[in-house]
Amino acid sequence: MQIQRDLIALGYDPKGADGLFGTGTREAIRMWQRDTGERVTGYVTAAQLRSLQSDAAGRDPTPTENRAAAIDEELLGLTRDERVAIQRQLISLGYLNGRADGAFGPSTRSAIGRWQGDNGMADSRYLTAEQVRTLRQQARI
């Protein structure tokens, strides 16, 4: 159940936290693995489990507030390369430190939230299509 709760906290919907690893949980794991650049299997290794728990621990304690925003961002279908580009844009604008790895973990989510707030947008920590366009334009200036 904790793995499912961690996935939910990070914006991945396992279709409930019931301790049963059905298709919803496997799909949420695959999405998390894809987004973090891990080998996509639907099963977590011990190292991935530690990473998942660490990412979830750094997340806000109220994940349900942004569930709709998380779903909307997921529907954008951002590829790993697009996520890397977004992180590079956040780095160039001074919102994110570190390297662009394509994984939208706690640091990236926090950077997105700060960028949204500084630009008069609701701080959901998840991007809309319009915000992606705005971020791209700002990074080019």
Residues 24 and 70: their CA atoms lie apart, in Å, by 16
Residues 75 and 31: their CA atoms lie apart, in Å, by 12
On whether both 130 and 88 belong to a single domain, the answer is: yes
On whether both 76 and 93 belong to a single domain, the answer is: yes
On whether both 78 and 14 belong to a single domain, the answer is: no
On whether both 10 and 27 belong to a single domain, the answer is: yes
On whether both 14 and 35 belong to a single domain, the answer is: yes
Over residues 60-78, the mean pLDDT reads 74
Give 108-125 pLDDT, tens digit per residue: 988 999 999 999 998 889
Burial class (CB in 10 A: 0-12, 13-18, 19+), 24: middle
Domain of residue 95: give its range: 65-140
On whether both 74 and 134 belong to a single domain, the answer is: yes
Give 35-56 pLDDT, tens digit per residue: 888 889 999 999 999 888 888 8
On whether both 135 and 96 belong to a single domain, the answer is: yes
